[in-house]
Amino acid sequence: MGAAAAALGWRPREFWAATPPEFWDAMNGYERMHRVPEE
Protein backbone atom coordinates (compact mmCIF):
# COMPACT_ATOMS: atom_id res chain seq x y z
CA MET A 1 0.00 0.00 0.00
CA GLY A 2 2.99 2.30 0.50
CA ALA A 3 3.62 2.67 -3.23
CA ALA A 4 -0.02 3.53 -3.85
CA ALA A 5 0.03 6.19 -1.15
CA ALA A 6 3.44 7.67 -1.93
CA ALA A 7 3.58 7.51 -5.71
CA LEU A 8 -0.06 7.64 -6.71
CA GLY A 9 -1.49 9.67 -3.85
CA TRP A 10 -4.14 7.03 -3.23
CA ARG A 11 -5.93 6.84 0.09
CA PRO A 12 -6.40 3.45 1.78
CA ARG A 13 -10.00 3.21 0.57
CA GLU A 14 -8.90 3.74 -3.04
CA PHE A 15 -6.13 1.17 -2.70
CA TRP A 16 -8.37 -1.51 -1.24
CA ALA A 17 -11.12 -0.84 -3.80
CA ALA A 18 -8.74 -1.23 -6.76
CA THR A 19 -8.27 -4.55 -8.50
CA PRO A 20 -4.71 -5.80 -9.05
CA PRO A 21 -4.85 -4.89 -12.78
CA GLU A 22 -6.04 -1.36 -11.90
CA PHE A 23 -3.20 -0.96 -9.42
CA TRP A 24 -0.54 -2.15 -11.87
CA ASP A 25 -1.96 -0.02 -14.69
CA ALA A 26 -1.72 3.01 -12.41
CA MET A 27 1.84 2.13 -11.38
CA ASN A 28 2.88 1.61 -15.01
CA GLY A 29 1.32 4.95 -15.95
CA TYR A 30 3.16 6.66 -13.10
CA GLU A 31 6.42 5.11 -14.25
CA ARG A 32 5.86 6.23 -17.86
CA MET A 33 5.14 9.79 -16.74
CA HIS A 34 8.20 10.01 -14.46
CA ARG A 35 10.76 8.11 -16.52
CA VAL A 36 13.90 9.98 -17.52
CA PRO A 37 14.12 9.99 -21.33
CA GLU A 38 16.95 8.00 -22.82
CA GLU A 39 19.50 10.01 -24.73
Please count the CA atoms within 13 angstroms of the CA of 4 that sit on its side-chain side: 17
- Cβ contacts of 30 within 8 Å, gap of 6 or more: 7, 8
Mean per-residue pLDDT for 5-9? 91
pTM: 0.77
Q: 19 pLDDT exceeds 90? A: yes
23-36 pLDDT per residue, tens? 999 999 999 999 98
Q: What is the mean pLDDT of the chain?
A: 92
